[in-house]
Amino acid sequence: MNDAPLSPIIRPDAGLLTPESEDPWYAIWTRSRAERVVVDQLERKRIEAFLPTIRRVSRWKDRKKEIEWPLFPGYCFARFDPTASLAILTCVGVAQIIMVDGKPAPIDSAEIEAIQRLVETQYKFDPCPLIKEGDLVEVIHGPLTGVVGRLIRKKDRAKLVLSITMINRAVEVTFDAADVRKY
């Protein structure tokens, strides 16, 4: 019996990667609720894939059940040689690879590694919109629901500026960051 470690079969058309691969990560946009199907197919093709999930309680009339939902609905991630994009695009459920200037747009490996580390912890986390200072935001909870203003600071609290531009005046109000969303 041969005790040598098994080496993967490398097919140039499959975009196969080994865990030591330095190829970049790419975002794959999937059809609605097809993230798991796409990841399963990529793994069968021996392409490194990542689908971050979050546990959520789903409620029906007669019961509740904790279910894993994609952290970023409609997206999964894969590490592959961009010249092997056809192997990705032929998976059932793939809408497209996220591209810039007609080429797959690589994602910084540190960003993917940070998400991988987070989902392995016991920390509680929730997806949130990416809101930057200066963005127009809308209040979604509380007595000012529906009010739109400009975000001027975001930490654990959001500072929102409501303005009357005609008279060149504004008022600043502080909110919990979870109470606003990008407008």
The residue ranges of every structural domain in the chain are 12-120, 136-182
**SS3 label, residue 164:** strand
pLDDT value at position 167?
59
Dihedral sign, Cα of residue 27, residue 30, residue 35, residue 41:
negative
Quote the pTM value: 0.68
Residue 102, pLDDT score: 92
* Contact status, residue 163 vs residue 149, Cβ threshold 8 Å: yes
Round the CA-based radius of gyration of the chain to a whole number and report it. 22
**CATH assignment of 12-120?**
3.30.70.940
Architecture of the domain delimited by 136-182? Roll (2.30)
**Token pair of 177, please?**
């960051």
Q: What is the pLDDT of residue 154?
A: 60
What does the pLDDT read at residue 125? Answer: 77
Element (H, E) at 78: strand 75-79
- Tens-digit pLDDT profile for the chain (183 aa)? 444 433 333 333 444 444 446 899 999 999 999 999 999 999 999 999 999 998 888 888 888 888 999 999 999 999 999 998 999 999 999 999 999 999 999 999 999 999 999 889 888 877 766 777 888 888 888 888 888 888 877 666 667 776 655 556 667 777 777 788 888
Q: What pLDDT does residue 155 have?
A: 62
Say what the pLDDT of residue 175 is.
76
Closest CA to 182 of 134, 142, 143, 144: 134
**Residue whose C-alpha is closest to residue 85's, from 42, 138, 132:** 42
